[in-house]
Copies of this chain bind each other. A is one copy, B any other.
Amino acid sequence: MVKHFIIAIDLGGTNLKCALLDSALKIKAKSCFSTKSFNNKQKLIGGIIDSINSFILKLNLTKNSILGVGIGLPGPVDTAKGVVHFLPNIPGWKEVGLKNILEKIIKLPVFIDNDAKLMALAEHKSGSAKGYSNVLCLTLGTGVGGGLIIGNSLYRGRDNAAGEVGHIPLNERGPVCGCGSEACLEVYVGNARIIEDARKLFGSKITLEEVSRLAQGDNIKAMKFWDEVGGKIGLALSGIVNLLNLDAIVIGGGISSAGNALFKSVKYTILARAMSVQAKRVRIFKAKLANNAGIIGAGYLVRERLIR
């Protein structure tokens, strides 16, 4: 039998998403659990193993039909050695040799990588950035992450640590950031900060989804709110655009659904602050694969490693 299925896992701070992909990386089956229901590292690894096994059992697959397992994780990863350095939003993970642990138990090849990198891979291969050579994919959420495509390949840097757009300084001095520095993009536009700002403007019960809906309904205060967030994102992107003369930028993650007000402000700021050649070149897109980008990216990761 031809090996053609891939099991793809997207481990986030909120959800553990698991999917069975066919050879075209189409999703054939999907499962989702709350990450918090596994309250320590052992249980979470157990949850990953159970997810994989339950696909195999339920769908009556043989291990021979499965090419491998790809996993995206929300933190810095040594993808070559298969080691998770740490996960900022999931406690208890420090230098975990996840690839080896899983391969011993499930007897399938396992590949792991940072989730923002896998999202970039997916958006470049089959999403908004398809056909563009040099691309930044930005994910907006609790953290602000990113992945770079340079010359049509995922650019990792020596330590697989490239792409940290969230930690570009916006000012010489500013609010302290979780990374140890200050005034990083993430402290201005990470969810924690903008929900706080939103509550000051719209009351303590507002959610970011509601502020997005308000802006889509032309509420001036809400439009101004996203305009300011977009201005900060656009400023950080202006520096990157000047440095890399990018073809495209893809913006995904929760607040990218804020819609027009946010995207208009990002585009306007890049035109105002970046150099004209670079600003005119770069296209700004919303991520296309949305919640599935991590899963699809994990599929491409397995394919890239096993099929050359």
By the criterion CB–CB under 8 Å, are A243 and B281 in contact? Answer: no
The reply to whether A239 and B168 form a contact with Cβ atoms under 8 Å apart is yes
Closest B residue to A146 by beta carbon equals B243
Q: State which of A120-128, A271-279, A286-294 sits at the interface with chain B.
A: A271-279
Let me know if A235 and B277 touch, CB within 8 A: no
**Which residues of B are found within 8 Å of A235, using beta-carbon distances?**
169, 172
Q: Is A133 an interface residue (CB 8 A)?
A: yes
Q: Could you give, for residues 152-172 of chain A, a 1 whenever the CB lies within 8 Å of some chain B CB and a 0 otherwise?
A: 000111111111110111111
Confirm or deny: A150 has a beta carbon within 8 angstroms of a beta carbon on chain B.
yes
Nearest residue (CB) in B for A272 is B181
Q: Does A246 contact B (CB under 8 A)?
A: yes
Determine if B171 and A171 form an interchain contact, defined as CB atoms under 8 angstroms apart.
Answer: yes
Cβ-defined contact, A239 with B278, below 8 A: no
* Cross-chain contact B243 with A165 (CB below 8 angstroms): yes
Contact status A277-B76, CB under 8 Å = yes
Taken together as a complex, chains A and B put the C-alpha atoms of A236 and B236 apart, in Å, by 11
Contact (Cβ within 8 A) A238 B165: no
Interface: A217 (CB within 8 A): no
A213-256 near B? 1/0 per residue, CB < 8 Å: 00000000000000000001001101110111111000000000
Chain B residue at minimal CB-CB distance from A163: B243
- Does A101 touch B at the CB level, under 8 Å? no
Q: State how many copies of this chain the complex holds.
A: 2
CB contact between A278 and one of B146, B161, B238, B272 (< 8 Å): that residue: B161
Inter-chain contacts of A163 with B (CB < 8 A): 243
Closest to A232 in B: B172
Interchain CA distance A246-B180 in the complex, whole Å: 19
Using known A-B contacts A170-B172, A239-B168, A273-B169, determine if residue A245 contacts B158 with beta carbons closer than 8 Å.
Answer: yes
Residue A148 CB within 8 A of the other chain: yes
Q: A203 on the interface (CB 8 Å rule)?
A: no
Given contacts A169-B273, A275-B161, contact A238 B181 (CB under 8 A): yes
* Chain B CB within 8 A of A265 CB: no
Given contacts A158-B133, A273-B169, contact A243 B278 (CB under 8 A): no
A136 nearest CB neighbor, chain B only: B243
Per-position binary interface string of chain A over residues 169-200, scored 1 when its CB falls under 8 Å from any chain B CB and 0 otherwise: 11110000001111000000000000000000
**In the complex, what residues of B have CB within 8 A of residue A150's CB?**
150-151, 155
CA gap between A133 and B159 in the complex, in Å = 12
Q: Does A139 contact B (CB under 8 A)?
A: no
What distance in Å separates the Cβ of A284 from its nearest Cβ neighbour in chain B? 15
Residues of chain B lying within 8 A (CB to CB) of residue A245: 156-162
Q: Which of A162, A168, A239, A275 has the most CB of B within 10 A?
A: A239
Residues A278 and B240 in contact in the complex (CB < 8 Å), given A151-B151, A273-B169? no
Which residues from chain A sit less than 8 Å from chain B, CB to CB? 76, 85, 133-134, 146, 148, 150-151, 155-165, 167-172, 179-182, 232, 235-236, 238-240, 242-247, 272-278, 281
In order of increasing CB-CB distance, the 5 nearest A-B pairs are A157-B245, A168-B239, A162-B245, A164-B242, A161-B245
